[in-house]
Amino acid sequence: MNKIIGIRREDKNEWERRVPLVPADIKELKDKYGVETLVQPSDIRIFSNSDYQNAGARISESLGEADVVFAVKEIPVSLLEPGKTYVFFSHTIKGQPYNMDMLKRLMDLKCNLIDYERMSDNSNSRIITFSVFAGMAGMIETFHAFGRKLSLQGYHTPFERIKQAYQYTSEIQAKAEIEKIGREISESGIPKELHPLTIGILGYGNVSKGVQSILDLLPTKTLRPDQLAEIPSDNSCLYKIVFEEKDMVRPRSGQFDLQDYYDRPDRYESVFHNYLPHLSILLNTIYWTEDYPRSITRENLKAFHLKENKPGLQVIGDISCDIEGSIEITREATMPDNACYTYHTERDEFENGIGSSGITVMAIDNLPCEFPGEASSSFSAELKGFVHRIAGADFKSDFDHLNLPPEVKKATILLNGQLTPDYQYLKQFI
């Protein structure tokens, strides 16, 4: 039996140029496992139609022959076909209201749904992800916003030269430019009025690792959160602080326990606002749902503003981008061509763009798009080892006998239109 997969073109917005599988890996799948690939034509994809043709794929508007369709972003409801297996980031696992119609339609069409976000190893670490590239692009965008904001305040710093991530031709070029700026900071410093220049990072997962891979190109010293109150003023370096759960929340009674926090977050309250006077920049990389306390609320900012008469924070890079979530002033997601807005605490009002005062929020929600080639190649390298098993699986069997690798099986949300055991909780949202 021929194994035929399809790759849908990405058309959610003009910035989405990524692919789930790159041409070189398509060729390997064909040569090694006999997997044929249909690719929808696209004028904006980072890899051209001819790149795929040269790799042995067929360019086809229709993916009707493909039993399994791979994509990056959600597929519009009107394009879903009966009985197919779809593999993409569905953004449904939190019961997101904006995708419940799509999930219901997949159920009605008796489709199978596999979500990359839930593909994980034995320790529940994600294995198919763009997260590192989200972190890298997010840090670059945040530095870009910071440099522009300082310029509006009359400070001219090397950060002014950091462009938006998509304006670099590659990850390599971006890193080379930032390394150059790092050498300049080491040698000449930055205005002493800006020091200590502190950069806080909420979280320590893959997104945080991407953030730190860019930040560490600059001269940095690492501090613990409890060291923030007394920092030596050194204008030839930046200070990095990585916040873990135990730093961000406390139990209402008793001792902090990480598993207890995951299991019963309602028993905990945020203490992160205590760090606000000591931070210049904040990167948010944490996974958050409404069950968990917010890290920063409007009330936190209002109380601090009234006390100090100015915000400690200049810029927040909200890479997680949960709307009015962990960072309550993240009011909406943005695109690279309009990446920021500014919150004015004293008026409880927003200003579009980067303001000289207030707290500027960078909230681009598709950051890996800014390095589409590198991000796609990395993602494809992680995914390709599972493709032939997905293409050859018997999705007509019951869940217990579904012959998928465990990493993929745990990511299967729907089987023949039915929610699988781990996802029964989604019924309440449909």
**Residues pairing with 327 in the sheet:** 296
Q: Are residues 98 and 144 in the same domain?
A: no
Q: How many CB atoms lie within 10 A of CB 294?
A: 19
The SS3 assignment for 416 reads coil
In a domain, 136, yes or no: yes
Is the previous residue joined to 406 through a cis bond, with omega within 30 degrees of 0?
no
Q: Give the model's pLDDT for residue 307.
A: 55
Q: Please, are residues 323 and 332 in contact by the beta-carbon 8 Å criterion?
A: yes
Phi, psi of 290 (to 5 degrees): -65, -15
Give the pLDDT of the chain (430 residues) as one tens digit per residue: 579 999 999 998 999 999 999 999 999 999 999 999 999 999 999 999 999 999 999 999 999 999 999 999 999 999 999 999 999 999 999 999 999 999 999 999 999 999 999 999 988 889 999 999 999 999 999 999 999 999 999 999 999 999 999 999 999 999 999 999 999 999 999 888 888 999 999 999 999 999 999 999 999 999 999 999 888 778 899 999 999 999 999 999 999 999 999 999 999 999 999 999 899 999 999 999 999 999 999 999 988 765 554 447 999 999 999 999 999 999 999 999 999 999 999 999 999 999 999 999 999 999 999 999 999 999 999 999 999 999 999 999 999 999 999 999 999 999 999 999 999 999 999 9
Neighbour-count burial of 301, counting CB atoms closer than 10 A to its CB (0-12 exposed, 13-18 middle, 19+ buried): buried
CA dihedral 71, 49, 45, 177 (to 10 degrees): 130
Q: Say if residue 412 is in the same domain as residue 362.
A: no
> At which of 353, 370, 387 does a domain end?
370
pLDDT, position 87: 98
Does residue 125 form part of some domain?
no
* Structure confidence at residue 231 (pLDDT): 87
Taken in order 104, 105, 109, 115, the sign of the CA dihedral is: negative
Please tell me the distance from the alpha carbon of residue 326 to that of residue 103, in angstroms, as a whole number.
25
Flag whether 424 is in a domain.
Answer: no
Residue 413 within any structural domain of the chain? yes
Say if residue 155 is in the same domain as residue 207.
yes
Would residue 426 count as lying in a domain? Answer: no
Q: Does residue 345 sit in the same domain as residue 403?
A: no
CATH code of the domain in which 261 resides = 3.40.50.720
Biggest CA–CA distance in the chain, Å, is: 71
Checking phi first, is residue 193 left (phi over 0); if not, alpha (psi -120 to 50) or beta?
alpha
Asked whether residue 158 falls in the same domain as residue 17, the answer is: no
Determine contact, residues 319/207, Cβ cutoff 8 Å: yes
Please tell me the distance from the alpha carbon of residue 193 to that of residue 201, in angstroms, as a whole number. 22
In terms of domains, do 230 and 365 share one? Answer: yes
Structure tokens at 265: 């977050």
195 in the same domain as 314? yes
What's the distance, CA 328 to chain centroid? 18
Torsion of CA 126, 247, 319, 211, to 10 degrees: -80
Q: Are 114 and 347 in contact (CB under 8 A)?
A: no
pTM exceeding 0.85? yes
CB atoms within 10 A of CB 245: 18
Q: What pLDDT score was predicted for residue 233? A: 75
87 and 27 in a common domain: yes
C-beta of residue 404 within 8 angstroms of C-beta of residue 389 = yes
Tokens coding 14: 């003009």
The answer on 379 and 250 residing in a single domain is: no
What's residue 1's pLDDT?
Answer: 57
Q: Give the residue among 200, 282, 271 at the shortest CA–CA distance from 242.
A: 200
Calculate the CA dihedral of residues 149, 318, 125, 267 and round it to 10 degrees. Answer: 130
pLDDT for res 303: 84
Instruction: Give me the number of domains the chain comprises.
Output: 2
Are the CB atoms for 312 and 229 separated by under 8 Å? Answer: no
Q: Are residues 328 and 191 in the same domain?
A: yes
**How much of the chain is in helix, strand and coil states, percent to nearest 5?**
40, 20, 45
Residue 430 is assigned to a structural domain of this protein? no
Query: What is the distance between the alpha carbons of residues 104 and 85, in angstroms, rounded to a whole number?
Result: 15
Residues 208 and 243 in one domain: yes
The answer to whether position 104 is within a domain reads yes
**3 state SS of 425:** helix
Residue 119 within a domain: no
Question: What is the residue range of 194's domain?
Answer: 131-370
Q: Looking at the structure, do residues 382 and 269 belong to the same domain, yes or no?
A: no
